Structure 1
Amino acid sequence: MSTGGGNRLVGMVAGEPSGDLIASRIIEGLQASDTNLLCQGIGGPNMEARAFELWHPMHALSVFGYVDAIKSLPRLLGIYRDVRKRWLAQPPSVFVGVDAPDFNLRLEQHLHDAGVPTVHFVGPSIWAWRYDRIHAIKRAVSHMLVLFPFEEKIYRDAGVPVTYVGHPLASVIPHKPDRAAARTRLGLDQQARILAILPGSRRSEIELLGPRFLQAAQLLRKRDPNLVCIAPMANQERRAQFEQILAQYPVPGLVCLSQQDERPCAWDAMEAADAVLLSSGTATLEAALFKRPMVISYVLSPWMRRIMAWKSGQQRPYVPWVGLPNVLLQDFAVPELLQDDATPDKLAEATWQALTDDAHIARVEQRFAALHQDLDLDTPGLAARVILDVADGRA
């Protein structure tokens, strides 16, 4: 299936900043293979920078879990119906859904039923929660592109065409981070002990983790009054929310960072830091690629925990790890403090080790360097070849 004039049309949906970065790299690979190719749909600024035709901004899909999704349902349904109508009226050569499984898998099912080849990039974490989703994936997706090597066997065993393409961030983040250069960019003291604090990119994450992280930072400042804390924020709205919490739990000298250009400010913070205290999510993998010792935390409200348990039929993940670095290494390489364990005292104690324990720091750096090597493939090129093969009926 192709558009008029022989040009390929690629529909794409990315719903979060991490997906925007990944999708922009895929677009780069696609355009290198086909200069007449047009990509359109839902995305962010990195995709727009690659001449992506933006129908809706990705932040319109930004919800967290089932409660936020219910509140946002009218808006989400309106966007969903709009893009589905457009692509059914003018079918793309191939549709590529990047992460955002709740939105994309439903859309992929409709397009797949209409004869549009579909590719899903970034497999949902069926290895941790709700393996039963594999059946919906098999019905909706022509080909899966996965970021991690262990995922390939899961999909292949279920009869889903799949290709491991590496993680695009592994080829963008340098194998040897330049802490001094990052500190220069941020105007930070080269000799300071620096902690990066990343409480998440969603309102609910900052609401639940922000106070705990800031109280932990207060305890750490008692141990080292010269400790410098930096907190990169995903956008101005999240920064304003975090600064309101900071007013209740002040940390002297804490610097809030905002996005200035295409490079995520969180990357500058991680590269400049000695250690990172952060929310579970893609940022944990980014911190690992920057070879930084970290403490991973996450907290769900009681209501959200009940909903997730009901929806998934599980009280806990299949695997014992939550943070991506630990999942990939199959070990608690860095601490995870979740739910009731995410107290300021425990967070401060674990973070102090990440800042000061030389043996722990060296061990983490060595393991993360090996992980970086494993994930660093030509992701844009590999993904582009599969996507174009699917578009042309060769895969």
Structure 2
Amino acid sequence: MTRTTKATMATYPTILISCGEASGDLHAAALVTEILKRNPDARIIAFGGDRVAQAGAELVSHIDRYAVMGFSSVLASITKFARLEKKLRSVLRNGVDLFIPVDYPGLNIRLSGYAKKLGVPVLYYISPQVWAWGAGRIREIGRSVDRIAVILPFEEEIYKREGIPVEYVGHPFVEDHYLPEPVTESEREGVGLLPGSRLQEIRRILPVLLGAARYITERRPGTRFVIGRHPTVPLYSYEKVLTRFGMDIPIDNDAVAVMRRSRAILVASGTATLQGALFETPLVIVYRISAINYLLARKLVKIRNIGLVNIIFNDGVCPEFIQSSAVPERIGKKALELIDDNDSRRIMVDRFKSLKHTLSGGGGCRRVAEISEEMLRKRR
């Protein structure tokens, strides 16, 4: 690669995108599509996944090699991440006109600071969850970026208080119409099990969900269950756990359809909680990590709830069962309450109906693409 001249920056820009994990790959792909729609001559290089590549980016490295969960897993892979960072720094030194990191703070905040030192403008799309980690991280990000595009409405004020250029662009699930409309109550059936998007999550969380399914079956014979498989996790990883439990539950490769059609879902904390809520599907949030990761998280995380839906609503609208409280019997009992047509179910669904309005209004990827154009023109 050769460094572009100022005359060609806006017309033939080279943009580096770094997203790091499955949810970021989904949102980054929509952004790549929008940028290339507006400027087919743009060159987009990415650390991303299959979706980003299919949208038209050139992959410098694939996210599947770096799918780790928790502090201890990252430490165990430190050499691999160091090589990745070295590779992306090399890309930044050779002709990049704009850097767009997408979430994934462990790597992307360092890369953003490096890009700034090189004079490469930085547009951070989908802010790291700084409200969970404390004010020090906010200021660190502020020193490393030129602009931030946030997708949760309360995040804008957090950055504005620190004098950091920020714009709320709406959540891509709502603004960019990723998700189909919810189905009617009469079309819903059974309980969906969504154990997460990482191999470690399947190993730790799926057994808990299967235990809850067994509890429900004992009290409500005939209840149907289906597991929503994440595309980045091999099928045999689910089958191995099912075999160990002696259970025969179908695995659906379309996890989104599982969330949409179930009467209730038991779901690992993460992006899927928000997807389920937007489908107006009652849900129970479950999460388990290693003991050392949990102890570290307890020291670092500054928020009461971990489920994204509960964070947005700033209350416990969805029950959370985390670590030692993630007991199959407790989870199963709460799920039984939500399966039935009762006040608990109706109250949760009514709260979910307001989410689209709460998360809309910023323009989504179209607005992020516009901001990227503004930054490229300013650099000319």
TM normalised by structure 1 equals: 0.88
Residue 346 of structure 1 aligns with an amino acid whose one-letter code is: R
- 2: CA distance between counterparts of 1:277 and 1:284? 9
Report if the CA contact (8 A) 1:232-1:266 is conserved: yes
- 1: CA distance between counterparts of 2:35 and 2:87? 25
| Equivalences for residues 344-383 of structure 1 within 5 A | 344-377=328-361, 378-383=363-368
| Equivalences for residues 68-217 of structure 1 within 5 A | 68-90=73-95, 92-170=96-174, 171-174=176-179, 176-178=181-183, 193-217=189-213
Q: CA RMSD in A?
A: 2.1
- 2: CA distance between counterparts of 1:338 and 1:233? 21
> Any idea what SS the aligned residue of 1:176 has?
coil
1:389 equivalent among 370, 374, 377:
374
Structure 2: 5+ residue runs without aligned partners?
none
Runs of 4+ in 1 over 6 A off after TM superposition: none
Residue 267, structure 1, aligned to residue 256, structure 2: yes
1:104-156 alpha-carbon deviations (Å, 9 max, x no partner): 11111111110000011111212122331112201111111111110000001
Residue 211 of structure 1 aligns with an amino acid whose one-letter code is: P
Report if the CA contact (8 A) 2:121-2:375 is conserved: yes
| Equivalences for residues 16-27 of structure 1 within 5 A | 16-27=21-32
Counterpart in the other structure of 1:184: none
Residue 15 of structure 2 aligns with an amino acid whose one-letter code is: V
Cα distance, 1:216–1:110 mapped onto 2, change above 3 Å: same
| Equivalences for residues 276-295 of structure 1 within 5 A | 276-295=265-284
1:236 Cα deviation after fit: 6.7
Counterpart in the other structure of 1:333: 317
Cα distance, 1:241–1:29 mapped onto 2, change above 3 Å: same
Structure 1: 5+ residue runs without aligned partners?
181-189, 259-264
Report if the CA contact (8 A) 1:278-1:296 is conserved: yes
Counterpart in the other structure of 2:250: 255
2:287 equivalent among 298, 301, 316:
298
Report if the CA contact (8 A) 1:193-1:226 is conserved: no
Cα distance, 1:21–1:271 mapped onto 2, change above 3 Å: same
Residue 219, structure 1, aligned to residue 207, structure 2: no
- 2: CA distance between counterparts of 1:347 and 1:274? 15
Report if the CA contact (8 A) 1:233-1:257 is conserved: yes
- 2: CA distance between counterparts of 1:53 and 1:111? 19
Q: How many residues align?
A: 372
- 2: CA distance between counterparts of 1:191 and 1:122? 34
Report if the CA contact (8 A) 2:3-2:94 is conserved: no
Report if the CA contact (8 A) 1:10-1:40 is conserved: yes
Residue 85 of structure 2 aligns with an amino acid whose one-letter code is: Y
> Any idea what SS the aligned residue of 2:284 has?
strand
- 1: CA distance between counterparts of 2:226 and 2:118? 49
Report if the CA contact (8 A) 1:217-1:251 is conserved: no
Counterpart in the other structure of 2:45: 40
Residue 45 of structure 1 aligns with an amino acid whose one-letter code is: D
Counterpart in the other structure of 2:230: 234
Counterpart in the other structure of 1:11: 16
- 2: CA distance between counterparts of 1:54 and 1:375? 30
1:165-193 alpha-carbon deviations (Å, 9 max, x no partner): 0111114245732369xxxxxxxxx8773
Residue 101 of structure 2 aligns with an amino acid whose one-letter code is: G
Of 41-50 and 229-238, more deviation after overlay is shown by 229-238
Cα distance, 1:354–1:2 mapped onto 2, change above 3 Å: farther
- 1: CA distance between counterparts of 2:132 and 2:90? 34
TM normalised by structure 2 equals: 0.92
Residue 34 of structure 1 aligns with an amino acid whose one-letter code is: N
Cα distance, 1:2–1:370 mapped onto 2, change above 3 Å: farther
Percent identity among equivalent residues?
Answer: 27
- 2: CA distance between counterparts of 1:22 and 1:229? 29
Report if the CA contact (8 A) 1:145-1:163 is conserved: yes
Cα distance, 1:21–1:179 mapped onto 2, change above 3 Å: farther
1:257 Cα deviation after fit: 2.2
Residue 389 of structure 1 aligns with an amino acid whose one-letter code is: E
Counterpart in the other structure of 2:59: 54
